[in-house]
C-alpha cells in the first residue's frame, strides 16, 4: 500500500480505492501532489504537478522564478521562507528566531501501526495497515521531525501525525504543531461543519469556500459543543449518494483548530490539529512532542460514503473497548425521574419496574455520593451518601443485579466543589490563578489533571468504588469548561502547556480505569454532547449525544452527529413529556422511533406512567432487541432532510438481509402531496417483505422508485356535514414518525 520511487523521489500511498501522492522537492521539503480516487500513477507523477512563474514571489533558488514556496502545494509547510500562508508548525529558538529548514533525511515503511504514547489513536495489525515514517531534520538546531502516515487496506482513509525530537543542546519552544496540513489543487468546495451549543449540538452547517481563512476551533479546554473537531469539503454538486467529498477529523478532546485557507491562486490549504492559541511546548535536550492523530477520508460515493467510512474506521480501528462490537444494553437512567431527590426504596422500585418492562441496565445518576443533594457540594468526595443509601452502594448494586439487571453509576471525576472535603484538603488542585477571582460553572471548579498526583488520587477513589464487581457501566460526566487556565504544579515557562497536559491527564485516567476494568461499558458525557469526539471514543465507545432528549431536536442532533460518528456511539433515550429541555410533547412512538437509532434507553419515572404506556414500552423494547444488531451495527444511510421538516434515514445489515427505515414529519401541512423515500444499501435482485405493511418489494424498486410512505392527513375524517369522507390519511398531526422493517425473503 506504500511505495517509494527513488528516481523521482515520490511516495505513493493507497489501496484499491484511493491514492495519496507526494514527493521530495529539490529543496528537500515535501510537495503534495494528489489525494483522491485511485489513479494508476505507477512510477512517475510529474504530470500531477507543474511549476509556475510568479512575479513578486520569493525565489527559493536564485534566479529560478519557477520555484517558490509561495505557490507550491506542500505536505507540512513552515512560515518565513517564502510561504505566507499559515504553517503546520513553528519553533522558536533561544535567540528568538522562528525560521527553520527541515529537509528530508530518511524514511521507513513497515506493516502495522504503533501506538502513540499517552494519546488515543487508530490501531490495526500488519494485515490491516501500512505505515510510512518520514524523518526530516534541521541540522542547524539538531532537531528532527517525523511525519507519520498510515494507510488502511480496506478503507479510504489516511491517518497522519507528527513528532518533534530535540537532539541539540539548545532548548526549543514549539509554538504550533498541527497534525495535518495539505494543499488541494483548487477551491471549488463547500465546507461542512458541525456547530451548536448546549442542547443543540452538532447541527450541520454548510458554506461555500471564499478567499482567506474559514475555520472552526475551541479554546475551552475541550472539543466543545460549539464546534466539533471535524469538517468536510465537498464539491457543490455532491449529494448524500453521489459526488466527491473529503472528511477531516481529529482524534483529540482538547483545544483544536480546523481550517481551510484559500490563497490568491485558489489553492485550498487544509489544517487540523491542536489550537495554536494558548499553546506552547518546551523541548529541552532529548525531549519530544507528539501531535494527536488526524484522519482524512475520501469518498466518491457522496456524504453517505464518507460517513460510512468514518463509522467503519471508528468501530473497527479506534474503539478499543471490548464493547465496541457488542450489542449495547437497553438502559434506564434515574436522572429525569428523580434528579437529586431519591431514596434506596425509590431506586429499587424503578429497577423492579425496569426489569418487568424488559430493560437490561439500571443507571444511578448524580447524587449518590458525599453530601450531594444539589449541585453546590461534594464533587470530589467519591464515597457513598449514607443518608440516601443507608445500606451502602454495594448492597444496592447487589439487590439490583439480583433482579437480573446490570448496574451502572454516574461520576464526574474531573471536577470539585468548593464545598467538599477534597477542596478543603487540596485547594491547590483546583484550576485557578492564585490571588485572582475564580470563575465557577455549575457551582464547580475543574481539577488540575496536568498534575499526575490529582489523576492518581481520583483513580484510587474510583477504583475503590468499581472494585465491588457489581458495576457494569460508568457514565463519565464533565459539566464545565476551563477558565483561569493555570497549574500550581507547572513552572512558569510551561504554563502554556497546561491545556494539552490537562487532556493528557484525562486520557491517563481513562487508560488506567479501562485497563483495570475492561468489562465495564464507559459512556462519556459533557453536559450532554460538549465533548463528543473521536479521542474519547477510543476509551468510551459511546457518548451522551445531548442533554436535549426531545425527539424533534434529536433529529437534527443525530443527523449531524452521523456525519462522523457511528450510530452505536450515540447515547439516545426516551424521556418524559412535556420534554424537560424544550417543553414539547411528542408521542411515545416518535420518541422511541428516534431513540432507536443510537444506543437506546429510557430516562423517566416508569413507575408513574399509565399501564397502556408500559405495554407500549414492552413492545418497543422487544422490537429493539429483535433489530438491535441492524440498528447499532448496520450501514447507516441518510435518505432525506427537507429543511428539518421531513427527515428519513435507515440501517442495513452487513449481509443486506435486513433493514430498518424511519421517516419523520415535524409539522403537518394541509392537504399535502404523497411522500416517498428512496431506500439505499439493499440487494437490487432480492425480494423484501415489509413487516409493518405486509407488502413485498424487490430491492431495486425500493431504491430506484422508492417506498411510498404513510398517507398524511388530508382533511376532516368525520364531521356532521361530511359523513362519507374516506381515505383522509392516518399520519395525523405534528411530530409523527413511521418505521419500516424489511427482511429478505427470496433471491
| DSSP-assigned letters across all residues of 320-349 | -SGGGGSPPPPEEESHHHHTT---HHHHHH
CA distance 501 to 194: 26
* DSSP calls for 282-326: EE-TT-EEEPPEEEEEEESBHHHHHHHHHHHHHHHHT--SGGGGS
Q: In 3D, which of 261, 263, 324 has the Cα closest to residue 568?
A: 324
- Average pLDDT of 359-388? 97
- For CA atoms 314, 317, 320, 325, the dihedral sign is positive
Q: If DSSP codes are grouped into helix, strand and coil, which group holds residue 452?
A: helix
From the list 64, 66, 32, the residue with the least C-alpha distance to 52 is: 66
The whole-angstrom distance between residue 718's C-alpha and the CA centroid of its chain comes to 49
Dmax (CA) of the chain: 95
Contact 230, 248 (CB under 8 A): yes
**Radius of gyration over every alpha carbon of the chain, rounded to an integer in angstroms:** 27
Candidates 477, 548, 550, 593; catalytic one: 477
Residues 159/309, Cβ–Cβ less than 8 Å: no
- Rounded Cα distance between 525 and 511, Å, is 17
Q: What is the pLDDT of residues 204-234, one digit of tens each?
A: 999 999 999 999 999 999 999 999 999 999 9
Q: What is the pTM of this model?
A: 0.96
Active site residue 66: no
What distance in Å separates the CA atoms of residue 515 and residue 406, rounded to the nearest whole number?
Answer: 20
pLDDT band of residue 261 (cuts 50, 70, 90) is very high
Could you give the C-alpha distances from 200 to 15, 225, 274, 583, in angstroms and in order?
38, 8, 24, 15
455549575: which residue's cell? 442
Assess contact for 531 and 222: CB atoms under 8 A. yes
pLDDT digit string, tens, across residues 158-190? 999 999 999 999 999 999 999 999 999 999 999
Residues 630 and 648: their CA atoms lie apart, in Å, by 16
Residue 547 pLDDT grade (very low, low, confident, very high; cuts 50, 70, 90): very high
Beta bridge partners of 408: 363, 473
**550-580: pLDDT as tens digits:** 999 999 999 999 999 999 999 999 999 999 9
Rounded average pLDDT over 5-14: 94
Grade residue 729 by pLDDT with cuts at 50, 70 and 90: confident
Please check whether residue 553 is in contact with residue 581, taking contact to mean a CB–CB distance below 8 angstroms: yes
- The band of 62, judged by pLDDT with boundaries at 50, 70 and 90, is confident
Q: Is the pLDDT of residue 529 over 90?
A: yes
Q: How far apart are CA 407 and CA 351, in angstroms?
A: 10
Grid cell 464546534 in the structure block, residue: 227
pLDDT in tens, 274-326: 999 999 999 999 999 999 999 999 999 999 999 999 999 999 999 999 999 99
Question: What's the pLDDT score for residue 52?
Answer: 66
Give the percent of the chain with pLDDT over 70.
97
Banded pLDDT at 453 (limits 50, 70, 90): very high
Q: What is the pLDDT of residue 716?
A: 66
Per-residue pLDDT reduced to its tens digit, 713-728: 887 665 556 555 556 7
pLDDT band for position 746 (cuts 50, 70, 90): confident
| pLDDT confidence bin for 60, thresholds 50/70/90 | confident
Which domains, and CATH codes, for the chain? 2-317 (2.70.98.60), 322-633 (3.20.20.70), 640-746 (2.60.40.1180)
pLDDT digits (tens, 9 = 90+) for 665-723: 999 998 899 999 999 999 999 999 999 999 999 999 999 999 999 988 887 665 556 55
Nearest 5°: phi and psi at 324? -60, -30
pLDDT classification of 53: cutoffs 50, 70, 90: low
When pLDDT is averaged across residues 453-478 and rounded to a whole number, the result is 97
Residue 492 phi/psi, 5-degree rounding, is -60, -40
Q: Are 716 and 728 in contact (CB under 8 A)?
A: yes
Q: What is the DSSP letter of 624?
A: H
C-alpha cell at 235: 464539491
Question: If pLDDT is split at 50, 70 and 90, which confidence band does 58 have?
Answer: confident
Rounded distance between C-alpha atoms, residue 372 and residue 411, angstroms:
12
**pLDDT at 450 (0 to 100):** 98
> Chain-wide mean pLDDT for the chain?
95
Q: By the 8 A CB rule, do 288 and 116 touch?
A: no
pLDDT recorded at residue 293: 98
The answer on pLDDT for 22 being more than 70 is: yes
Say if CB 603 and CB 595 are below 8 A apart: no
Query: Which residues neighbour 523 within 8 Å (Cβ) at sequence distance 6 or greater?
Result: 473, 474, 475, 476, 540, 542, 543, 544, 571, 599
The one catalytic residue in 365, 381, 547, 550 is 547
Q: Which cell goes with 551?
A: 425527539
- 427 Cβ contact list (under 8 Å, min separation 6): none
User: 640 in helix, strand or coil?
Assistant: strand
Query: What pLDDT, on a 0 to 100 scale, did the predictor assign at position 721?
Result: 60
Question: What CA–CA distance (Å, rounded) separates 494 from 538?
Answer: 28
Q: Does residue 456 have a pLDDT over 90?
A: yes
Mean pLDDT of 453-475: 97
pLDDT value at 378 more than 80? yes
CB 308 within 8 A of CB 563: no
Whole-number Å distance between alpha carbons of 338 and 351: 13
Stretch 612-618: mean pLDDT: 98
**DSSP state string for 656-722:** SSEEEEEEEESS--SSPPP-EE---S--TTSEEEETTT--EEEHHIIIII-EEPPPBP-S-SS-TT-
Spell out the residues 6+ positions from residue 586 whose beta carbon is closer than 8 angstroms to its own.
Answer: 550, 551, 552, 577, 579, 735
Q: Is the pLDDT of residue 54 over 80?
A: no
- Active site annotation includes 183: no
Asked if 632 contacts 568 with a C-beta cutoff of 8 angstroms, the reply is: yes
Length of the chain: 747
Q: Is the pLDDT of residue 600 over 70?
A: yes
Confidence at residue 632, expressed as pLDDT on a 0 to 100 scale: 96
Using CA atoms, how far apart are residues 127 and 269, in angstroms rounded to an integer?
32
Amino acid at each position: 500500500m506504500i511505495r517509494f520511487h527513488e528516481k523521482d523521489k515520490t511516495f505513493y500511498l493507497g489501496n484499491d480505492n484511493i491514492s495519496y501522492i507526494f514527493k521530495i522537492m529539490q529543496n528537500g521539503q515535501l510537495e503534495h501532489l494528489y489525494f483522491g480516487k485511485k489513479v494508476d500513477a505507477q512510477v512517475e507523477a510529474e504530470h500531477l504537478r507543474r511549476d509556475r512563474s510568479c512575479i513578486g514571489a520569493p525565489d527559493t533558488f536564485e534566479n529560478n522564478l519557477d520555484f517558490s514556496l509561495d505557490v507550491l502545494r506542500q505536505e507540512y509547510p513552515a512560515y518565513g521562507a517564502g510561504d505566507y500562508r499559515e504553517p503546520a508548525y513553528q519553533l522558536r529558538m533561544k535567540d528568538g528566531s522562528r525560521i527553520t529548514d527541515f529537509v528530508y533525511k530518511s524514511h521507513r515503511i513497515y506493516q502495522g501501526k504503533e501506538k502513540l504514547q499517552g494519546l488515543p489513536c487508530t490501531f490495526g495489525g500488519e494485515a490491516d495497515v501500512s505505515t510510512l515514517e518520514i524523518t526530516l531534520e534541521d541540522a542547524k538546531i539538531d532537531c528532527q521531525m517525523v511525519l507519520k502516515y498510515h494507510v488502511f487496506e480496506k478503507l479510504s482513509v489516511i491517518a497522519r501525525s507528527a513528532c518533534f525530537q530535540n537532539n541539540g543542546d539548545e532548548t526549543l519552544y514549539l509554538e504550533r504543531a498541527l497534525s495535518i496540513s495539505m494543499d488541494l489543487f483548487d477551491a471549488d468546495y463547500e465546507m461542512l461543519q458541525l456547530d451548536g451549543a448546549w442542547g443543540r449540538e452538532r447541527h450541520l452547517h454548510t458554506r461555500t469556500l471564499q478567499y482567506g481563512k474559514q475555520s472552526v476551533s475551541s479554546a475551552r479546554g475541550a472539543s466543545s459543543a460549539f464546534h466539533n473537531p471535524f469538517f468536510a469539503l465537498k464539491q457543490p454538486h455532491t449529494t448524500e449518494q453521489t459526488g466527491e467529498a473529503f472528511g477531516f477529523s481529529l482524534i483529540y478532546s482538547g483545544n483544536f483548530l480546523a481550517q481551510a485557507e484559500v490563497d490568491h491562486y485558489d489553492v485550498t490549504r487544509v489544517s487540523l490539529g491542536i489550537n495554536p492559541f494558548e499553546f506552547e511546548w518546551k523541548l529541552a535536550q532529548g525531549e519530544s512532542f507528539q501531535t494527536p492523530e488526524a484522519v482524512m477520508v475520501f469518498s466518491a460515493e457522496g456524504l453517505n460514503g464518507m460517513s460510512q467510512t468514518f463509522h467503519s474506521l471508528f468501530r473497527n480501528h479506534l474503539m478499543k473497548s471490548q464493547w465496541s462490537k457488542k450489542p449495547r444494553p437497553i438502559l434506564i437512567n434515574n436522572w429525569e425521574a428523580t434528579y437529586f431527590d431519591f431514596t434506596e426504596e425509590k431506586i429499587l422500585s424503578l429497577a423492579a419496574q425496569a426489569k418487568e418492562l424488559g430493560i437490561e441496565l439500571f443507571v444511578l445518576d448524580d447524587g449518590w455520593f458525599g453530601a450531594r443533594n444539589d449541585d453546590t457540594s461534594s464533587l470530589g468526595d467519591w464515597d457513598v451518601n449514607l443518608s440516601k443509601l443507608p445500606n451502602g452502594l454495594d448492597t444496592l448494586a447487589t439487590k439490583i443485579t439480583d433482579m437480573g439487571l446490570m448496574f451502572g453509576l454516574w461520576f464526574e471525576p474531573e471536577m470539585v466543589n468548593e464545598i467538599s472535603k477534597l477542596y478543603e484538603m487540596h485547594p491547590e488542585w483546583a484550576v485557578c490563578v492564585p490571588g485572582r477571582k475564580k470563575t465557577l460553572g455549575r457551582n464547580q471548579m475543574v481539577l488540575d489533571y496536568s498534575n499526575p498526583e490529582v489523576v492518581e488520587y481520583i483513580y484510587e477513589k474510583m477504583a475503590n468504588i468499581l472494585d465491588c464487581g457489581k458495576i457494569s457501566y460508568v457514565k463519565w460526566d464533565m459539566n464545565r469548561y476551563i477558565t483561569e487556565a493555570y497549574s500550581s504544579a507547572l513552572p512558569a515557562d510551561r504554563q502554556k502547556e497546561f491545556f494539552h497536559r490537562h487532556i493528557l491527564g484525562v486520557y491517563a485516567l481513562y487508560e488506567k480505569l479501562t485497563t483495570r476494568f475492561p468489562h465495564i461499558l464507559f459512556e462519556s458525557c459533557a453536559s450532554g454532547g460538549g465533548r463528543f469526539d473521536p479521542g474519547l471514543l477510543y476509551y468510551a465507545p459511546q457518548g451522551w449525544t445531548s442533554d436535549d432528549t426531545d425527539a424533534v431536536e434529536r433529529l437534527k442532533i443525530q443527523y449531524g452527529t452521523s456525519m462522523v460518528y457511528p450510530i452505536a456511539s450515540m447515547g439516545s433515550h426516551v424521556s418524559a413529556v412535556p420534554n424537560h429541555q424544550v417543553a414539547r410533547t411528542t408521542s411515545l412512538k416518535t420518541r422511541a422511533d428516534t431513540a432507536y437509532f443510537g444506543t437506546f434507553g429510557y430516562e423517566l419515572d416508569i413507575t408513574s406512567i399509565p399501564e397502556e404506556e408500559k405495554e407500549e414500552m414492552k413492545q418497543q423494547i422487544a422490537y429493539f432487541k429483535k433489530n438491535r444488531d441492524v440498528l447499532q451495527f448496520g450501514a447507516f444511510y441518510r435518505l432525506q432532510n427537507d429543511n428539518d421538516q421531513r427527515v428519513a434515514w435507515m440501517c442495513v445489515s452487513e449481509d443486506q438481509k435486513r433493514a430498518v427505515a424511519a421517516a419523520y414529519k415535524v409539522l403537518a401541512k394541509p392537504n399535502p402531496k404523497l411522500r416517498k423515500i428512496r431506500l439505499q444499501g439493499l440487494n437490487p435482485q432480492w425480494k423484501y417483505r415489509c413487516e409493518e405493511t405486509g407488502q413485498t418489494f424487490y430491492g431495486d424498486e425500493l431504491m430506484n422508485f422508492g417506498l411510498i410512505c404513510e398517507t398524511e392527513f388530508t382533511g376532516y375524517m368525520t364531521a356532521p356535514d361530511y359523513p362519507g369522507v374516506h381515505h383522509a390519511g392516518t399520519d395525523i398531526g405534528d411530530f409523527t414518525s413511521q418505521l419500516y422493517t424489511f427482511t429478505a425473503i427470496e433471491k
